[in-house]
């Protein structure tokens, strides 16, 4: 194009302006890149610990159970059962039989029991995924030299069994079922408290509360509460739910005291504590969503003689629902990953039985992860990594269901 004549007082600075644009473009792209790289590094780190070679030794040599020259692995179910009966105490044997009668168990299952209960392998060395892939020969050499009786296996710490087994102190047989169920129970009560109360408060503040100093103070407080450190909520939960409301949270007033319960340190207390923690987040997001409902829609409803409640219920809420659910997803994601307040409220360190009622003792996935990472042995780091993957999957599936729910709402006319 022929250059425009420069008018006095103006300068032809288009090139400079474009250059500036390009620079900012690069800066923004770089910021995104930093985020993505950090995320990938995190995932690689977790995956690196969750898979790899493990060397383990039997505490009891399986060769001692060879019968008539038939090694343990090749014995039939009857032989294995005889062995189990002779090696376990009568009580332990009967307990297993009560859980699932031996007649109904498969040979593989019985063999598994023998490995877990009698052979009791113990981990002697663990390698991460990267060395397991790149230095197989060195690993084999090390094991042959240092642990001549050890078996070397490539394992995935994250297995179906890991997800379905209860917690144990033995790394090779430990599972996270207890923690998953604890997390689900806890989050259930969190939503049960925070969603209706949060949305209700948001409706009140947006639709009913008049604009006076009192309500402004309440609003300011809610905004500030969203920034209070979570440990403070733990202390609050300890004071309110565990101590003051103990008869309620331990199930005492319902006559339902769980024999395992320790004084109100229950899934119910934990859920309600996290409920308080995310309440301000839900309120603030729901308020935003309600505020974003266009005035024309309210006018339409009031204009045909609808009451405020009819307007709120039929128009404001359905329209705000996608936004409210987005806020709830955020809040629940936060709650599910919380550790500190639950430690304060009294999450159990080592329990192997599932929570079965609101009044059960509990542990949750983050607590479990925290405990395992705190142990010095490498195999527990691997267990922690596997639990982190479980936690991420749990989080993603909860979010996915909330997103589906949200899309149902936003598929509006």
User: From CA 80, how far away is CA 96, in angstroms rounded?
Assistant: 14
- Chain positions 203 to 232 lying near another protein, rule: CB under 8 A, are 211
In the complex, least distance from residue 307 CB atom to another protein, rounded to whole angstroms: 5
| φ and ψ of 155, to 5 deg | -125, 155
In the complex, least distance from residue 270 CB atom to another protein, rounded to whole angstroms: 40
Site size toward another protein, by CB under 8 A: 19
Alpha-carbon distances, residue 339 vs 46, 144, 182, 270 (angstroms): 19, 41, 13, 11
In the complex, least distance from residue 410 CB atom to another protein, rounded to whole angstroms: 10
The dihedral formed by the CA atoms of 296, 302, 307 and 308, expressed in degrees to the nearest 10: 30
Of 45, 299, 377, 397, the one binding another protein by CB under 8 A: 299
Quick check: 271 and 192 in contact, CB under 8 A?
yes
Q: Which is nearer to another protein, 314 or 377 (CB)?
A: 314
Residue 297 touching another protein (CB under 8 A): yes
Residue 409 touching another protein (CB under 8 A): no
Residue 407 touching another protein (CB under 8 A): no
Q: Which is nearer to another protein, 297 or 400 (CB)?
A: 297
Alpha-carbon distances, residue 357 vs 251, 353, 360, 362, 370 (angstroms): 9, 12, 5, 10, 24
User: CA angle, 366 as apex, 128 and 397 as ends, to 5°?
Assistant: 90
In the complex, least distance from residue 263 CB atom to another protein, rounded to whole angstroms: 50
Q: Which is nearer to another protein, 69 or 303 (CB)?
A: 303
Of 6, 7, 14, 304, the one binding another protein by CB under 8 A: 304
Quick check: 273 and 237 in contact, CB under 8 A?
yes
Residue 411 touching another protein (CB under 8 A): no
In the complex, least distance from residue 286 CB atom to another protein, rounded to whole angstroms: 19
Q: Which is nearer to another protein, 145 or 296 (CB)?
A: 296
Of 64, 223, 310, 377, the one binding another protein by CB under 8 A: 310
Residue 159 touching another protein (CB under 8 A): no
Taking Cα atoms as reference points, which of 185, 125, 134, 217 lies closest to residue 348? Answer: 185
User: If DSSP codes are grouped into helix, strand and coil, which group holds residue 83?
Assistant: helix
Of 32, 212, 296, 374, the one binding another protein by CB under 8 A: 296
**Order of strands, sheet of 121-126, starting from the edge strand that comes earlier in the sequence:** 121-126, 51-58, 151-156
Burial class, 52, CB count within 10 angstroms (exposed 0-12 / middle 13-18 / buried 19+): buried
Of 307, 349, 401, 407, the one binding another protein by CB under 8 A: 307
Residue 301 touching another protein (CB under 8 A): yes
Q: Which is nearer to another protein, 45 or 299 (CB)?
A: 299
In the complex, least distance from residue 325 CB atom to another protein, rounded to whole angstroms: 17
| φ and ψ of 157, to 5 deg | -70, -25
Instruction: Tell me the window of 118-126, 137-145, 151-159, 290-298 that interacts with another protein (CB under 8 A).
Output: 290-298
Quick check: 369 and 388 in contact, CB under 8 A?
yes
Burial class, 25, CB count within 10 angstroms (exposed 0-12 / middle 13-18 / buried 19+): exposed
- Chain positions 311 to 370 lying near another protein, rule: CB under 8 A, are 314-315, 319
Of 302, 354, 395, 399, the one binding another protein by CB under 8 A: 302
User: From CA 338, how far away is CA 274, in angstroms rounded?
Assistant: 8
Binding region for another protein (CB under 8 A): 211, 296-307, 310, 314-315, 319, 412-413
């Amino acid at each position: 194009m022929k250059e425009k004549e420069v008018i006095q007082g103006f300068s032809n600075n288009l090139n400079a302006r474009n250059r500036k644009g390009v620079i900012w473009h690069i800066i923004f792209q770089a910021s995104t890149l930093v985020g993505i790289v950090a995320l990938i590094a995190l995932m690689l780190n977790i995956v690196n610990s969750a898979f790899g070679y493990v060397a383990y030794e039997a505490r009891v040599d399986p060769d001692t159970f060879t019968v008539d020259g038939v090694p343990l692995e090749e014995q039939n179910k009857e032989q294995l059962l005889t062995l189990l009966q002779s090696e376990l105490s009568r009580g332990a044997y009967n307990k297993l039989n009560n859980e699932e009668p031996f007649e109904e168990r498969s040979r593989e299952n019985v063999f598994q029991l023998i490995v877990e209960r009698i052979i009791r392998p113990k981990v002697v060395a663990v390698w991460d995924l990267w060395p397991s892939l790149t230095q197989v020969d060195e690993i084999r050499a090390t094991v042959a030299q240092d642990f001549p009786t050890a078996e070397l296996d490539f394992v995935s710490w994250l297995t179906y069994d890991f997800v379905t087994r209860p917690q144990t102190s033995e790394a090779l047989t430990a599972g996270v079922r207890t923690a998953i169920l604890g997390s689900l129970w806890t989050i259930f009560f969190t939503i049960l408290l925070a969603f209706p109360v949060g949305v209700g408060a948001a409706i009140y503040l947006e639709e009913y509360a008049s604009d006076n100093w009192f309500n402004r103070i309440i609003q300011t407080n809610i905004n500030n509460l969203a920034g209070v450190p979570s440990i403070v909520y733990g202390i609050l939960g300890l004071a309110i739910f565990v101590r003051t409301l103990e008869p309620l949270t331990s199930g005492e007033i319902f006559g339902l005291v769980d024999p395992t319960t320790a004084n109100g340190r229950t899934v119910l207390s934990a859920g309600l504590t996290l409920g308080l923690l995310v309440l301000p987040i839900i309120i603030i997001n729901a308020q935003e969503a309600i505020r974003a409902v266009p005035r024309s829609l309210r006018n339409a409803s009031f204009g045909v003689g609808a009451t405020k409640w009819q307007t709120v219920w039929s128009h404001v809420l359905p329209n705000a629902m996608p936004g409210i659910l987005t806020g709830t997803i955020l809040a629940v994601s936060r709650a599910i990953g919380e550790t500190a307040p639950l430690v304060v409220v009294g999450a159990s360190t080592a329990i192997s039985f599932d929570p079965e009622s609101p009044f059960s003792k509990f542990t949750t996935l983050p607590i479990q992860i925290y405990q395992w990472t705190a142990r010095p042995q490498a195999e527990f780091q691997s267990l922690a990594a596997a639990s982190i993957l479980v936690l991420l999957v749990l989080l993603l599936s909860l979010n996915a269901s909330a997103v589906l729910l949200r899309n149902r709402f936003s598929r509006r006319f």
